[in-house]
Structure 1
Amino acid sequence: MTTNRTVQNAADAALWLAVHRGFHVLPLNYGTKTPLRGCVDCRAEHCDHTPQTCSCLARADGALCHGVWAATTDPGVIARWAQRWHTSVWAVHLWTSGLLAVDLDTRPGPPPRQPLNGLPWPHEEPPPADGLDTYATLAALSGGAVGTDTFTTDTPSGGLHLLYSTTGQWKGSQGKVRDGDDTVRTGLGWQIDIKCYGGYVVLPGSTSKAGLYRRSSATTTPRPLDGWLADALTRTGHDRTTTAPAATRPAAAVPTIDAQTGPARYAVGALRSACAELAAMEPDTGRNRKLFRSTTRLAGMAQAGWIDRTVVEAALTDAARHAGLPAAEIRYVLTSGFGRPLPVPDIRSAA
């Protein structure tokens, strides 16, 4: 349970960082630490535009919509949000603030045999106890050091948020292993999460259900991203600006399905069209939104028995992967889309 004092402390800290450090901040839900949803018209089930074209976010008084893209440096907007929402959890939207966060976890559990993505673990080193150990070893192998001269936050679980300034567009990632595997194949390494584009971290001074977030560094100024870290991020595919030319991309698989009835033929055609359009999309062109809309439309057809759900999921997953969407994001969007099936269209002329 929060008090007026903890609520005010969190808002004051966010306001100070916005004014003095240029952080784009926003309030979060106390229990879930997710962005608040204050604008009904711009929620996913109603929205037909991107944050870049949202008229609500362009208003002088700001609006809480489109998740972290609502974040602002405007002191007046921040003060109005603080007065309305009374939350003790505030966050910084990293990419719009020119920041990248290295989130080091301390989750319990045995480490994998190979805790680093793409690098063998040194034989002379004991297995890491947590993300702090993994990151320190990665830094040493890369000719660098973790350092403490950047804006750092202690999390309630015992982990760390290290903030760095950057002009790059970096993808987010989670350093974990798949079930049954013993090697980290995503992100940088075991229990190292990277957050930047579209990502956020809770600010010090915040109090969530988990506890208090405390600034542990002597400085509130993020230092520039270390060269060794930028190289490691590039090596592991975090650079959003590095994509294969469209002409050299492998073609996405287009589903081939036999359909005997009119509704089935219509559903197959809709699926093929959705997959072709999605697979051809480039970053920052609404791939996530396209996947969601296609899923809701085809979910209704699957619910009506026009097409098998597993066929739809497999085809859309392949097309979304081809378009460059992360696997976790694809799973989330498909689950959301199948939870909101649209009514099937009237296709009596096709029967």
Structure 2
Amino acid sequence: MGVACGPAGLVVVDIDAHQVQVPDRGQLLPGIPIPEQVQLDGLVSGFDTLALLAAYRGETSPAQDEHTLRVRTPSGGLHVWYRNPTPSVRYRCSTGSARHTALAWQVDIRAEGGYIVAPGTRTPKGVYRPEGSARRPAVLPEWLQRELRRTQHVIEHKSLVEPVAPAVPAPAHRGGRRAASADRLIDPLIALVAECAAAPEGTGFSEKLNRAAYTAGGLVAAGHLDQAAIRDRLVRVAHYARPWQQSRNEKIVDDALAVGSVRPLHLKGRP
């Protein structure tokens, strides 16, 4: 089961533990230079970079925050759930490897426009299990609020020009009423993503792409769409709207497809 972070007032720190090559120290904590005398030999994951950031600020790492809901992921990562104490301030999603907006290497932020897997959810890769005794999100700590603002996670309100975007055609010859019904549901959502090309920010791009991919995941799980075909279509329209963040686009699509697939979306009148 997936939870839409924005409407729920959530800011989730998504700590990854992927076995990948550690980048140059200048890319570990965006905006914070790490002196050469600081030993980084044991740094291998987002747990380490987040602990380093917390140490720089004299704070406890969110991974060790026993006052809020923490959920262990099947891949060994950790989702640390917080409540946004100021609804008028909206935070954007990010990935730890992003060039423009990132908190720390291998640390993602799930907020406005993002989805997070609910604790207790079973997936083909395993179960998302709560860790510790806390079962409710605590208020986002002030130091993290400052860090998110410093790293450009705050969404600034800007007036938008009415977008004019080309239509994004559905693949031909998918055949059958099931595919036609699925197209009628997914096509308007994909068109909204395409319209985001009219402005570089402030269009709700991440939220719209998440919604389209989440819906597509449910349709795939119910057998109404082909996963490879709809993923390709979503990625293409995302790259059209935001060509400078292709890695992030693909992560948004893949994550939302995975979350959506947990809940098959059966069309009305269909099993």
Shorter-chain-normalised TM-score: which range? 0.5 to 0.7
Choose the corresponding residue for 2:6, options 79, 88, 95.
Answer: 95
Do residues 162 (structure 1) and 75 (structure 2) align?
no
TM-score, normalised with respect to structure 1? 0.45
Q: Is the 8 A contact 2:95 2:248 kept in 1?
A: no
Match of 2:40 in 1: 126
**For the structure 1 residues 218 and 326, does the alpha-carbon distance in structure 2 shift closer, same or farther, using more than 3 Å as the test?**
same
| 2:97 match: secondary structure | coil
Do residues 144 (structure 1) and 55 (structure 2) align?
no
Matches within 5 A, 1:326-337: 327-328=246-247
Identity of aligned residues (%): 31
Do residues 206 (structure 1) and 115 (structure 2) align?
no
Do residues 109 (structure 1) and 30 (structure 2) align?
no
Deviation for aligned residue 1:217: 2.4
| In 2, Cα distance between equivalents of 1:93 and 1:241 | 20
Larger relative contact order (CA 8 Å, sep ≥ 6): 2
| In 2, Cα distance between equivalents of 1:94 and 1:276 | 20
TM-score, normalised with respect to structure 2? 0.57
**For the structure 1 residues 278 and 131, does the alpha-carbon distance in structure 2 shift closer, same or farther, using more than 3 Å as the test?**
same
Match of 2:262 in 1: none
| In 1, Cα distance between equivalents of 2:201 and 2:17 | 37
Match of 1:283 in 2: 203
State the superposition RMSD in angstroms.
3.6
| In 1, Cα distance between equivalents of 2:133 and 2:127 | 18
| 2:146 match: secondary structure | helix
Deviation for aligned residue 1:155: 0.8
Letter in 1 for 2:8: S
Deviation for aligned residue 1:282: 4.5
Match of 1:50 in 2: none
The gaps in structure 1 that reach 5 residues or longer are 1-89, 178-183, 247-273, 293-312, 334-351
Deviation for aligned residue 1:134: 0.7
The gaps in structure 2 that reach 5 residues or longer are 161-193, 213-235, 253-271
| 1:120 match: secondary structure | coil
**For the structure 1 residues 331 and 98, does the alpha-carbon distance in structure 2 shift closer, same or farther, using more than 3 Å as the test?**
closer
| 1:173 match: secondary structure | coil
Match of 1:54 in 2: none
Do residues 194 (structure 1) and 109 (structure 2) align?
yes
Q: Is the 8 A contact 2:16 2:77 kept in 1?
A: yes
Q: Give 1 or 2 for the bigger CA radius of gyration.
A: 1
